[in-house]
Every structure is written in structure tokens, then in C-alpha cells.
């Protein structure tokens, strides 16, 4: 069941703050990736290319953790846990939106044949200073 996020958490999601995604490898070990994030209401959104390790891991096990660090004060952070769903993003709309948010410009091209995916995380638990 998704939870409501604090105003501080929403500000972290809306800002140019980097996040770290943790997924579970098939052998049970963790895999982490630094990434850009956005949101739709209380859901966390991010983009990936189908076939990458994180994508394969999320297909196998949709449980993830996303930690967002405040760029101006890294001790102000939030860890969000939940489950993801994925949908195709053939127009790279989310990837373009996040690139403009973080870099102020459109992203470079993906490798030929790459298929973008929108990942939507329903947050079930929040912890950390910014969760309050």
C-alpha cells in the first residue's frame, strides 16, 4: 500500500538531487545505480534502458529502495522502499524530461536499438531525516 510523502521528501524529489537505486540480483546480492528521479504525485519515476542489470533485476523482483541525497546538505536524505512497475517509453519522454531537469538540455542519443522504459515506484515505506 502506497504511503503519503512528507513535504521535505517531495522537495527532494522535485529538486536536482541525485538518487541511488538498489535492486536485488538473482543471487540475492545488492546492485546499486546512481540516477535521476522525478515524480508523479507520490510515485517516484525514473528511466532506464531495457536489458540493463537494474531492468532485469526489477523484472525478476520488483522490490527496490531509492535513496535521495540533498545536493546542498547530504545529511538530509530519504530512503524510499517500495515496488515498481514498468511501461515502454518509445518517445523517451521521461528521459528527456529528467535530462532537462538535471542538465538543462535534451539527452544525447541512446545506442541504436535501445528501448527506454519508464519505471514507476509506489512508495511503501520512507525513512531518514527528510521522511519526517
Q: Which cell is 128 given? A: 531518514
Q: List pLDDT tens digits, range 44-59.
A: 999 999 999 999 999 9
- In this predicted structure, what is the pLDDT of residue 130? 79
Q: Which residues pair with 50 in a beta bridge?
A: none
Residue 1 has pLDDT above 80, yes or no: no
Cα 99 off chain centre by: 13
Amino acid at each position: 500500500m502506497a504511503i503519503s510523502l512528507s513535504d521535505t521528501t517531495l522537495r527532494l524529489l522535485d529538486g536536482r538531487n541525485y538518487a541511488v537505486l538498489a535492486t536485488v540480483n538473482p543471487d540475492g546480492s545488492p546492485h546499486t545505480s546512481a540516477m535521476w528521479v522525478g515524480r508523479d504525485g507520490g510515485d517516484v519515476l525514473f528511466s532506464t534502458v531495457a536489458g540493463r542489470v537494474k531492468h532485469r533485476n526489477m523484472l525478476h523482483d520488483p522490490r527496490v529502495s531509492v535513496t535521495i541525497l540533498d545536493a546542498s546538505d547530504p545529511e538530509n536524505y530519504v530512503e524510499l522502499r517500495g515496488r515498481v512497475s514498468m511501461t515502454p517509453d518509445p518517445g523517451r519522454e521521461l528521459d528527456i524530461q529528467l535530462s532537462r531537469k538535471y542538465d538543462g538540455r535534451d539527452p544525447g542519443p541512446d545506442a541504436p536499438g535501445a528501448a527506454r522504459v519508464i519505471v514507476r515506484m509506489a512508495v511503501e515505506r520512507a525513512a531518514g531525516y527528510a521522511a519526517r
